[in-house]
Amino acid sequence: MYLRVPSSAEPGYKENIWDHAAGAIIAEEAGGKVTDILGRPLNFSCGVKMVKNHGILVSNGVLHELVLKALETW
């Protein structure tokens, strides 16, 4: 499990694609699931910042939906 929740101290912060692109591919190829914390696939097509995503969630796939559900109330 890897969880990166945006900080309320920096509400406009967006992740850099180079921090997550390789790890996302590795996790998915190993059978895991990778989305933002709203359940959307990561979008690496908008330049150097991941402007269409909000945080990062990586799991083994089994726990992914459960964690997304818990994040709804956070």
Mean pLDDT value across residues 37-61: 96
Domain with residue 37: its CATH number is 3.40.190.80
Q: Which amino acid is at 62?
A: V
Cβ distance 67 to 3 under 8 Å?
yes
Give the chain's mean pLDDT: 95
Count of the separate structural domains present in the chain: 1
- Give me the numbers of helices (H) and strands (E) for the chain, helices first please: 2, 3
Determine which helix (DSSP H) or strand (DSSP E) holds 71, and give its type and residue range: helix 64-72
Distance (Å) of CA 7 to CA 4, 32, 45, 59: 9, 25, 23, 21
pLDDT(69) > 90: yes
Domain enclosing residue 63, as ranges:
2-72
Composition of the chain by helix, strand, coil, percent to 5: 30, 15, 55
**pTM, entire model:** 0.91
Region 5-14: what's the mean pLDDT?
A: 91
